[in-house]
Amino acid sequence: MNTFAEDHGATSNANAYGRGALVCVLAGIALLGIVNFAPLAQAGPNVLAEEAALHPQAERINALLDKALQAAGEVDDPSGKAWLYQAISQNLVRAGDIAGALEIAEQVEDAYIQAGTYWHFARALAKEGDSAREKQALMQVLERAGEIENVADRNMYYRVVAGAQARAGDLTAARKTAAMVDDPLNGAPAYRSIATGQAEAGDIEGALETARQIDSKWSRATAYKNIAKAQAEAGDFEGAGWTAAMIEHNTPYRAAGAYAAVATAQARAGDHEGAERNVTIALNAAGHIGSSHRKALIYCEIAVAQKELGENQTAKQTLALALDAAGHAEAGWARSQAYRDILMAQASLGDSAAFEETLPLAREAARQMENAESQDWAYYFIVTARAEAGDITGAMETTEAIERTSVRGPAYGAIARVRVQAGDLAGVEEWAGKAESPIERAYIYIGAAEGLMETDKSD
């Protein structure tokens, strides 16, 4: 389970330790006269709303989000309230209520949260093919990102916007955004994002050309990995293999990741022979990874490919290698993250015995973390893993180790989502009604709404 922040290299404590996957709170900078919201709220047909209205639980979803909003209004802590508004607004967008999301956003002042809001909104619009409003939303991400004081956070937004602009075919804008990045690598990570965007849009030649011009070996290898993945997911397995082979031998982490991604796509497409060949290459590359933390993460990715091949027993053996590597990882977030990914992979395989053996190791890794907030987020990820594995009682027990309400609330939300997906909406609503903390109550309602939205519309 990778967060937005992990995927895009954020370095601040709030980013690295959870605070969700930069979900949506549409920012209220229209009040300052900086951006005109009208085109976003009114232009053209609202495809999101049309699709959301088809959901059989649409009315109930909106009622749950309304209760979450009421609870959020009772929160005194400005930061806690801002993150809640972000989560509520994200789900209002998913529910098609763009105007409602904007109204909530006008109450948020944090530029970092607002930028994440527009980013999420832009991605939702892109999925619906609304390129005009996507472009407007991306410009608003840049407006808000420019007000973020932390350079690493600001650069992260510039990178992802550059990639999105490239994905939309606007290379001129993408390069202009990449030039805004202020880092010692001369914007190499931004050009990596551009290459990835080009590949995802189907412009493989353009993506490869962009990748070849990247000076940073690491960013170049990452770009090649992402291009190979895009090619494989489009069915071009031969081309993906050639691209993966372009990754230098001294970056085995990226090489292994590329071959694992290609193998997963091949397995899903029924090319088992090709998938098995690339799994073998990925395993060989993984053996040369120096970082125990990264080695553990790659073994988890390889296990996914093996699971797609139907080789569950082999996948379990690969996860055993991941577990061994995790034990040698540096204490702290690296080790905790490795155990988190292993737990999620074990849960997906239904390997309850191995899952139970990994749990105490994950808890010990969380206890060893020096930063208290980081420790809470490490426990949060254990909660989500136990909930996804169907161990609701165990997940609730783990929440007792979380000290901060601002983290325990999202943990409750994760549990609520799983319970609702399992059909226990009534029980979750009763639980929310008894919650004393408005933050916790709001997140339970948000989780319930998410659980309903993720339920198959045909149900």
DSSP per residue over 251-272, as a string? -HHHHHHHHHHHHHHHHHHT-H
In one-letter notation, the amino acid at residue 219 is: S
Nearest-angstrom CA–CA distance, 261 and 22: 24
Contact 282, 305 (CB under 8 A): yes
Contacts 24+ apart (CB under 8 A), 311-319: 312/349, 315/345, 315/349, 316/346, 316/349, 316/351, 316/354, 318/283, 319/345, 319/346, 319/349, 319/351, 319/354
Residues 171, 175, 180, 185: what is their CA dihedral angle, to the nearest 10 degrees? Answer: 130
Count Cβ neighbours within 10 Å for each residue of 114-134 and write b for 16 or more, e otherwise.
Answer: bbbbbbbbbbbbbeeebeebb
Are 226 and 196 a contacting pair, CB within 8 Å?
yes
Measure CA 247 to chain center: 25
Each domain of the chain, given as residue ranges in start order, spans: 1-149+371-459
pLDDT of residue 180: 94
10-residue averages of pLDDT along the chain (459 residues): 37 37 29 38 52 69 95 92 88 81 78 84 82 88 94 95 96 95 84 97 97 94 98 97 94 97 98 98 97 97 97 97 96 92 95 95 93 94 95 97 95 97 96 95 97 72
**Predicted TM-score of the model (pTM):** 0.84
- Residue 410 has which token pair? 């999202």
Check residue 186 and give left, alpha or beta (phi > 0: left; psi -120 to 50: alpha): left
Block residue for tokens 């749950």: 64
Can you say how many angstroms the Cα of residue 199 is from the centroid of all Cα atoms in its chain? 20
The pLDDT, as a whole number, for residue 175 is 95
Q: What is the 8-class DSSP label of residue 423?
A: T
Distance of CA 50 to the CA centre of its chain: 26
Nearest to 92 by CA among 35, 42, 48: 48
CB of 434 within 8 A of CB of 402? no
Fill in the amino acid letter for 176: K
- Residue 5: the pLDDT is 38
Amino acid 441 reads R
CA angle 291, 384, 259 (to 5 degrees): 40
Please give the structure tokens belonging to residue 30.
């229209």
Per-residue model confidence (pLDDT) at position 433: 95
CB 272 within 8 A of CB 313: no
